């Protein structure tokens, strides 16, 4: 079956938005549909792209051209390198940061949630401003900003990773109000998934598991909350 290439036209609404079933949106310049896959080209040169199963796309919409969002996602460093630098600078475990990124955006630097959170660590505009992040679609700015925020939350809750994660998702006010993970299904599942992913990443040796994983008490708290 011949590939179908849809070129965007017009000058007012220059960018098309793919709306995904998981709540993310992906701005792109053009798209190409092949069988059950859609390739979304993120730049005019069609050098940067992401493949998405057709079944995961609910629809498309248009938006004014957010040129910085599409152009500044470029970096000479890999996400792993950026995370390592942010981890060293802020004293936050790199595997913990990676687990947050996997849950927040699945590693998509151009991800935008329906609520407006942006980039790898899904920073809300107000949070990005607080952190001094000028462009949330820049992998380096986003990861360094998101890591600083994680550090702030870990310090606020005396190293309690579960409360810090809950606050990252639902906001510190909600965690303070309930003195722990708030009774929001989304937040409970969010924390549980990151705890599971992080502990799995640290399960390569008994030494790492004993030294770095989230404690059994914290894990049990999440398991109870998620039921």
* Distance between CA atoms of residues 128 and 68, nearest Å: 15
Residue 104 designated active-site: yes
Average pLDDT, integer, range 163-189: 94
Lowest pLDDT segment from 26-40, 128-142, 187-201: 26-40
Q: What is the pTM of this model?
A: 0.64
Q: What is the pLDDT of residue 28?
A: 77
In this structure, of 16-20, 45-49, 70-74, 84-88, the range with the lowest mean pLDDT score is: 70-74
b vs e for 101-136, b when ≥16 Cβ sit within 10 Å of the residue's Cβ? bbbbbeebbbbbbeeebbbbbbbeeebbeebebebb
Poorest-confidence range of 16-25, 168-177, 211-220? 211-220
User: In the predicted model, is pLDDT for residue 74 greater than 80?
Assistant: no
* Bridge partners, 27 (sequence order): 17
Q: According to the model, what pLDDT value does residue 218 have? A: 53
Give the pLDDT confidence score for residue 204 in this predicted structure. 53
Quote the pLDDT of residue 64.
60
Q: Over 50: is that where the pLDDT of 221 sits?
A: no
Task: Indicate whether 169 pLDDT > 90.
Answer: yes
DSSP 16-61: EEEEETTSEEEEESEEEEETTEEEEE-STTS-SEEEEEGGGEEEEE
Burial 14-49 (b: 16+ CB within 10 A, else e): bbbbbebeeebbbbbbbbbeeeeebbbbbeeeeebb
> What was the pLDDT predicted at 133?
92
Q: Which of 16, 104, 140, 218 is catalytic?
A: 104
Give CA 87 to chain center in angstroms.
16
Q: Where in the chain is the domain with CATH 2.30.30?
A: 4-67
pLDDT of 213 reads 53
Distance CA 18, CA 61 (A): 7
Judged by average pLDDT, the poorest of 77-81, 117-121, 209-213 is: 209-213
Please answer whether residues 187 and 170 qualify as being in contact, where contact means their C-beta atoms are separated by less than 8 angstroms: yes
Q: Is 90 exceeded by the pLDDT of residue 1? A: no
| CATH top-level class of 79-226 | mainly alpha
pLDDT for position 160: 95
129 Cβ partners below 8 Å, 6+ apart? Answer: none
* CB within 8 Å of 53: residues ≥ 6 apart: 36, 37, 38
Eight-class DSSP state of 134: S
- Tens digit of pLDDT for each residue in 135-149? 999 999 999 999 999
Domain 4-67 CATH (choose: 2.60.120, 3.20.170, 2.30.30, 2.60.40) = 2.30.30
Which segments of the chain belong to CATH 1.10.530.10?
79-226
Among residues 130, 138, 43, which one has the least CA distance to residue 121?
Answer: 138
């Amino acid at each position: 079956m011949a590939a179908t290439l849809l070129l965007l036209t017009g000058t007012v609404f220059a960018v098309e938005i793919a709306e995904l079933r998981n709540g993310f949106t992906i701005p792109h310049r053009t798209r190409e549909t092949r069988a059950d896959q859609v390739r979304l080209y993120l730049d005019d040169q069609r050098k940067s792209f992401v493949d998405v199963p057709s079944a995961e796309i609910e629809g498309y919409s248009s938006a004014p051209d957010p040129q910085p969002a599409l152009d500044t996602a470029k970096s000479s460093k890999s996400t792993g390198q950026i995370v390592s630098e942010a981890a060293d600078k802020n004293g936050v475990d790199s595997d913990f940061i990676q687990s947050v990124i996997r849950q927040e955006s699945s590693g998509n630097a151009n991800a935008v949630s329906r609520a407006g959170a942006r980039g790898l660590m899904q920073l809300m505009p107000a949070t990005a401003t607080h952190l001094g992040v000028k462009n949330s679609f820049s992998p380096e700015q986003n990861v360094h900003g998101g890591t600083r925020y994680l550090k702030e939350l870990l310090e606020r809750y005396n190293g309690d990773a579960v409360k810090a994660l809950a606050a990252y998702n639902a906001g510190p006010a909600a965690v303070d109000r309930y003195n722990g993970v708030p009774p929001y299904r989304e937040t409970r599942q969010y924390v549980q998934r990151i705890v599971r992913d992080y502990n799995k990443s640290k399960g390569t040796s008994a030494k790492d598991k004993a030294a770095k994983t989230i404690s059994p008490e914290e894990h049990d708290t999440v398991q109870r909350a998620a039921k």
